[in-house]
């Protein structure tokens, strides 16, 4: 018996096998597949359709005469091994209980990475009750979510504690998102810089979402990942005494700094709450405008962030975010590097996945307001050495080329009128 990769000449036999099991052959050319062959006969087949985050298991079938020999388990194990640490997703009407015995869990489609919607099995709208089973990947790079959050907290805690900007003249000084970008070059005016209290602008943003937000007097604005409060303080003047600004951040040192500045400079309509943007400390339907500046790429579950944003916005409310996204996937070593994660590189999503995650949360009119390249600068020898521990073959040139695929994006979106609660996945 031979378990091997599917070849073009296997196509007819595989189609017969799938046809006999009433499984579709559509989109098979978008998959990589394996067959079990015995003599001249193809006894089993499995295929994977891959996105950067998900491996969709397709066409898992064993010929009727070969069932009961454990071939299905072998094919599933192979698919799992070939998934490369991605979330595994299986849409099935028949073998759900069998998959559950093998560690898969029934999973709402909305909890799968957004890029699953680009695959043959999941594109477009699904039926209300389609059963999906998944084995979720560990958080990005294979780290536990709390490991990543702790690295992020440490990084931004130490930037806040330093008191000044993280941005120094050399690459070694650049320790956070936005470092190396001048605030003026990402869309702030001299007036903005003068209006915020000294110490609030740590140079960590990668855009100016306030400029996009067309804030009105009396509105309630929420800033996801408010840092030392720069955007929150600028917004405070726009919403005026009848309005309110809430900043949420998970790093205690950032909160301390922001709260200190608010108290010293009399920003009575601004409040900073400690919390995770993946579980916002805000009641549903309270907020007119959500902004975020170079933060969502740091979240371990971006889909959850956008669902939370949707939950707390009023119907008709606006989302205006600046963030970093990828034009192409990073090398695996860079995805695993916690420093690269905390510096806003390794956690960044592909642009299309980012936009899809916003749409999947229920937002409409998802539009790119601005898009530009982003300069991470040359990697330091320490950064190169750290990455080469993970992958000795990685050169400084590879790292530079990968970082050059990062873009700054400004996106706006609307929570439609009449939507009272978050849109859930089709199988919730």
Residues in contact with ligand SAM, total (CB under 6 A)?
A: 26
Nearest-angstrom CA–CA distance, 187 and 185: 6
Nearest-angstrom CA–CA distance, 428 and 425: 6
According to the binding rule CB under 6 A, does residue 293 interact with ligand SAM?
yes
As measured in angstroms, the least distance from the Cβ of 35 to ligand SAM is 44
Give the range of 18-26, 62-70, 220-228, 412-420 binding ligand SAM by CB under 6 A: 220-228
According to the binding rule CB under 6 A, does residue 347 interact with ligand SAM?
no
According to the binding rule CB under 6 A, does residue 295 interact with ligand SAM?
yes
Q: Which of 246, 282, 299, 303 binds ligand SAM (CB under 6 A)?
A: 299
Provide DSSP, 80-111: HHHTTTPEEEEE-SSSHHHHHHTT-EE--GGG
Q: Which of 213, 298, 402, 413 binds ligand SAM (CB under 6 A)?
A: 298
According to the binding rule CB under 6 A, does residue 282 interact with ligand SAM?
no
Q: Which residue is nearest to ligand SAM (CB)?
A: 227
Computed from CA positions of residues 195, 201, 203, 204, in that sequence, does the dihedral angle turn out positive or negative?
A: negative
CB 71 within 8 A of CB 55: no
According to the binding rule CB under 6 A, does residue 317 interact with ligand SAM?
no
Q: Which of 49, 53, 181, 249 binds ligand SAM (CB under 6 A)?
A: 249
State the residue for tokens 């050399």: 170
Would you call 402 exposed, middle or buried from its count of C-beta atoms within 10 A (0-12, 13-18, 19+)? buried
According to the binding rule CB under 6 A, does residue 250 interact with ligand SAM?
yes
Give the range of 9-17, 50-58, 275-283, 375-383 binding ligand SAM by CB under 6 A: 275-283
CB 409 within 8 A of CB 370: yes
Q: Which of 289, 294, 346, 402 binds ligand SAM (CB under 6 A)?
A: 294
- Cβ closest to ligand SAM, residue 276 vs residue 288: 276
Enumerate the H helices of 102-247 as residue ranges.
145-162, 190-195, 209-213, 230-239
CB 320 within 8 A of CB 412: yes
Q: Which of 204, 239, 348, 366 binds ligand SAM (CB under 6 A)?
A: 204
Nearest-angstrom CA–CA distance, 332 and 183: 31
Q: Which of 156, 233, 306, 363 binds ligand SAM (CB under 6 A)?
A: 156
HSE-up (13 A, CA, CB side) for residue 159: 31
For residue 95, give every residue at least 6 positions away whose Cβ sits within 8 Å of its Cβ, in sequence order, or none: 60, 72
Tokens linked to 215: 């804030």
As measured in angstroms, the least distance from the Cβ of 245 to ligand SAM is 13
CB 374 within 8 A of CB 406: yes
Give the range of 18-26, 68-76, 249-257, 400-408 binding ligand SAM by CB under 6 A: 249-257
What 8-state DSSP symbol labels residue 297?
G
Q: Which of 33, 44, 140, 178 binds ligand SAM (CB under 6 A)?
A: 178
Q: Which of 112, 177, 235, 357 binds ligand SAM (CB under 6 A)?
A: 177
Which SS3 state, helix, strand or coil, does residue 24 take?
coil
Q: Which of 72, 110, 197, 205 binds ligand SAM (CB under 6 A)?
A: 205
103 C-beta neighbours (distance < 10 Å), count = 11
As measured in angstroms, the least distance from the Cβ of 205 to ligand SAM is 3
According to the binding rule CB under 6 A, does residue 212 interact with ligand SAM?
no
According to the binding rule CB under 6 A, does residue 254 interact with ligand SAM?
yes
Residue 13 host element (H or E): helix 11-20
What 8-state DSSP symbol labels residue 428?
-
- Cβ closest to ligand SAM, residue 228 vs residue 333: 228
What 8-state DSSP symbol labels residue 171?
G
According to the binding rule CB under 6 A, does residue 230 interact with ligand SAM?
yes
Taking residues 87 to 106 in sequence order and writing x for each that binds ligand SAM by CB under 6 A, - otherwise, the string is: --------------------
**Residue 278: C-alpha distances to residues 145, 287, 311 (Å):** 11, 16, 11
- Cβ closest to ligand SAM, residue 116 vs residue 299: 299
According to the binding rule CB under 6 A, does residue 109 interact with ligand SAM?
no
Which SS3 state, helix, strand or coil, does residue 223 take?
strand
Which SS3 state, helix, strand or coil, does residue 2 take?
strand
Q: Which of 57, 202, 355, 402 binds ligand SAM (CB under 6 A)?
A: 202
As measured in angstroms, the least distance from the Cβ of 254 to ligand SAM is 4
According to the binding rule CB under 6 A, does residue 34 interact with ligand SAM?
no
Interacting residues toward ligand SAM by CB under 6 A: 152, 156, 176-178, 202, 204-205, 225-227, 230-231, 248-251, 254, 276-278, 293-295, 298-299
């Amino acid at each position: 018996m031979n378990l091997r990769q599917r070849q073009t000449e296997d196509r007819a036999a595989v189609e017969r096998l799938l046809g006999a099991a009433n499984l579709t052959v559509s989109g098979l050319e978008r998959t990589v597949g394996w067959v079990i062959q015995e003599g001249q006969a193809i006894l089993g087949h499995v295929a994977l359709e891959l996105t950067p985050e998900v491996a969709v298991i397709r066409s898992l079938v064993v010929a009727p005469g070969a069932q009961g020999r454990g071939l299905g388990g072998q094919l599933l194990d192979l698919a799992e091994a070939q998934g490369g640490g991605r979330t595994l997703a299986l849409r099935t009407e028949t073998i759900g209980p069998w998959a559950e015995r093998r560690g898969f869990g029934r999973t709402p489609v909305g909890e799968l990475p957004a890029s699953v919607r680009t695959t043959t099995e999941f594109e477009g709208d699904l039926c209300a009750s389609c059963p999906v089973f998944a084995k979720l990947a560990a958080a990005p790079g294979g780290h536990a979510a709390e490991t990543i959050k702790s690295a992020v907290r440490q990084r931004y805690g130490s930037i806040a504690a330093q008191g000044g900007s993280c941005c120094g003249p050399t690459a070694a000084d650049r320790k956070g998102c936005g470092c190396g970008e001048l605030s003026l070059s990402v869309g702030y005016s001299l007036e903005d810089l003068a209006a915020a209290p000294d110490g609030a602008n740590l140079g960590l943003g990668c855009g100016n979402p306030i400029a996009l937000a067309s804030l009105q007097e009396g509105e309630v604005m929420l800033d996801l990942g408010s840092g030392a409060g720069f955007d929150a303080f600028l917004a405070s003047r726009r919403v005026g005494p009848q309005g309110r600004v809430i900043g949420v951040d998970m790093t205690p040192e950032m909160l301390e700094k922001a709260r200190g500045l608010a108290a010293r400079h009399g920003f009575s309509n601004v409040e900073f709450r400690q919390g995770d943007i993946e579980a916002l400390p805000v009641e549903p339907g309270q907020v007119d405008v959500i902004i975020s500046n170079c933060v969502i790429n740091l979240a371990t579950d971006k889909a959850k962030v956008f669902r939370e944003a949707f939950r707390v916005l009023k119907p008709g409310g606006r989302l205006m975010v600046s963030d970093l996204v990828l034009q192409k996937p990073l090398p695996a070593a860079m995805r695993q590097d916690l420093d690269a994660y905390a510096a806003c590189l390794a956690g960044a999503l592909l642009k299309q996945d980012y936009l899809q995650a916003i749409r999947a949360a229920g937002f409409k009119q998802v539009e790119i307001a601005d898009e530009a390249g982003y300069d991470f600068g040359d990697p330091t020898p320490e950064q190169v050495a750290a990455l080469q521990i993970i992958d000795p073959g990685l050169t400084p040139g590879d790292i530079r080329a990968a970082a050059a695929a990062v873009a700054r994006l400004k996106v706006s979106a609307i929570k439609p009128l009449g939507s009272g609660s978050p849109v859930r996945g089709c199988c919730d």
